[in-house]
C-alpha cells in the first residue's frame, strides 16, 4: 500500500509573516495527521520560517528547486546541502514553470522564457540525481502542454519526460522518488483534468517507471496529480487507483482549503 501525499507548492507566494501564519494554521489543524504525508514547499526565503512552524509535527518541508553542484560560483542557486541545512526533506524538480512551460496559453512558452527558467530533461535528470545523492526526496514533475494534448502527443511527451528524468538511476535508489503528473493546461487555470484521464496518464507513468527501474520499484513509487486540485475534485481524484496524492498550488495557500485536501487524501486509501 502506498501512503498518500498532499504537497503544497506555494510557488512565489508568501513573505515570512504570511508563511508563518499559513504554516502555523496548517500545523494547528493537521500537525498530527496520520494516513497521509503532508509536505509544505514555501519559497526558499521562507524555508526556515516554515520549519519553525512545523517543528514537532508530522508535516515535512520541501524546496521548489535544487542545483546539482554542492557549492561554487552559481549566483542565486541552492545546493542539496543548503536545502538539508534548512530542514528540507523533499524538493520539487522540473516543475513546468521552471521548464518555462506555462499553461494559460501555449504561446507563453517562448524561447526567451525557456532561457530564463531553463530546466530541460537533461537538467531535471542531474537535479534528480543530486537530490538522491543528498538523501532528499525528489518530487519530479512531468506533463504535456495543451497543444501537445490536442495533437495526440500526451503519452509520448509524458513518458519521454519520465524516461529522461530517470536516466541512470538505479532501482535501489528510485523507491523514494515521487512523480507528479501536472498537465500544463490544468495548472492555475481552474480546468482540472478529468479524474479517469489523470488516472490513465498516471498508469502510463507507472508503466514507464517499470521500464526504467523494474516493476517492483515502480509499484512503490508515489504518483501525484497536480493542476487545479481543490475540495470539489479531490475526492474523485484520490479515488483513482493510480493517483497517490496531490501537488497543489492555489488551494494550498489557504489553510482551510489545504486542510480539506489533506483530510480527503488521508481518508482515501
Ligand atoms: P494549481 O493547483 O494552482 O493549479 O497549481 C498546480 C501546480 O502547479 C502545483 O505544482
Domains of the chain, earliest start first: 5-266 (3.20.20.70)
pLDDT band at 252 (very low <50, low <70, confident <90, very high): very high
Ligand 1 atom with the smallest distance to the CA of 95 is 10
Tell me the backbone φ, ψ of residue 65, rounded to 5 degrees: -170, 160
Whether 182 is catalytic? yes
Cα of 97 vs centre of ligand 1, distance in Å, is: 10
Residue nearest atom 2 in ligand 1 by C-alpha distance: 249
- Ligand 1 pocket test target in 42, 226, 231, 245 with most atoms within 8 Å of CB: 226
**Residues enclosing ligand 1, CB less than 6 A?**
9, 95, 182, 187-188, 226-229, 247-251
**15-43: average pLDDT:** 98
The pLDDT mean for the chain works out to: 94
Cα of 172 vs centre of ligand 1, distance in Å, is: 30
The pLDDT tens digits of the residues spanning 219-243 come to 999 999 999 999 999 999 999 999 9
pLDDT band at 116 (very low <50, low <70, confident <90, very high): low
| pLDDT (0 to 100) of residue 189 | 82
Residue matched to cell numbers 499559513 = 22
pLDDT band at 49 (very low <50, low <70, confident <90, very high): very high
| Statement: the pTM of the whole predicted model exceeds 0.75 | yes
Dist CA 213 CA 192 (whole Å)? 30
**171-191: average pLDDT:** 93
Residue 108 has pLDDT above 80, yes or no: no
| pLDDT (0 to 100) of residue 237 | 97
| pLDDT (0 to 100) of residue 110 | 73
- Ligand 1 pocket test target in 142, 247, 260, 261 with most atoms within 8 Å of CB: 247
Phi-psi category of 188—alpha, beta or left, where left has phi over 0 and alpha has psi -120 to 50? Answer: left
Ligand 1 atom with the smallest distance to the CA of 188 is 4
Q: Which of 97, 182, 242, 260 is catalytic?
A: 182
Pick from 226, 136, 127, 121: nearest CA to 176: 136
Ligand 1 atom with the smallest distance to the CA of 97 is 8
| pLDDT (0 to 100) of residue 78 | 97
Whether 95 is catalytic? yes
Residue nearest atom 7 in ligand 1 by C-alpha distance: 249
Start-to-end CA span in the chain (Å): 8
Q: How far is CA 132 from the centre of its chain?
A: 15
Q: Do 219 and 206 touch, CB atoms closer than 8 A?
A: yes
| pLDDT (0 to 100) of residue 111 | 73
Residue 106 has pLDDT above 90, yes or no: no
Ligand 1 atom with the smallest distance to the CA of 187 is 4
Residue 175 has pLDDT above 70, yes or no: yes
Amino acid at each position: 500500500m502506498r501512503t498518500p501525499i498532499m504537497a503544497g507548492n506555494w510557488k512565489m507566494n508568501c513573505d515570512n509573516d504570511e508563511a508563518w501564519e499559513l504554516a502555523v494554521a496548517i500545523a494547528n489543524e493537521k500537525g498530527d495527521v496520520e494516513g497521509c504525508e503532508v509536505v509544505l514547499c514555501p519559497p526558499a526565503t521562507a524555508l526556515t520560517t516554515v520549519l519553525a512552524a512545523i517543528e514537532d509535527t508530522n508535516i515535512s518541508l520541501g524546496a521548489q528547486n535544487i542545483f546539482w553542484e554542492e557549492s561554487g560560483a552559481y549566483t542565486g542557486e541552492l545546493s542539496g546541502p543548503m536545502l538539508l541545512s534548512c530542514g528540507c526533506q523533499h524538493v520539487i524538480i522540473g516543475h513546468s514553470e521552471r521548464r518555462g512551460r506555462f499553461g494559460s496559453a501555449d504561446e507563453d512558452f517562448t524561447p526567451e522564457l525557456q532561457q530564463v527558467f531553463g530546466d530541460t530533461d537533461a537538467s531535471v535528470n542531474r537535479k534528480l540525481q543530486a537530490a538522491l545523492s543528498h538523501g532528499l526526496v525528489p518530487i519530479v514533475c512531468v506533463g504535456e502542454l495543451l497543444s501537445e494534448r490536442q495533437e495526440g502527443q500526451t503519452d509520448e511527451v509524458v513518458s519521454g519526460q519520465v524516461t529522461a528524468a530517470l536516466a541512470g538511476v538505479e532501482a535501489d535508489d528510485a523507491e523514494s522518488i515521487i512523480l507528479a503528473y501536472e498537465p500544463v493546461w490544468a495548472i492555475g487555470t481552474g480546468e482540472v483534468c478529468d479524474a479517469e484521464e489523470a488516472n490513465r496518464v498516471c498508469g502510463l507513468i507507472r508503466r514507464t517507471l517499470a521500464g526504467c527501474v523494474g516493476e517492483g520499484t515502480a509499484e512503490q513509487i508515489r504518483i501525484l496529480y497536480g493542476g487545479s486540485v481543490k475540495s470539489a475534485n479531490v475526492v474523485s481524484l484520490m479515488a483513482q487507483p493510480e493517483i497517490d496524492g496531490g501537488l497543489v498550488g492555489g488551494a494550498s495557500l489557504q489553510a482551510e482549503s489545504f486542510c480539506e485536501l489533506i483530510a480527503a487524501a488521508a481518508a482515501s486509501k
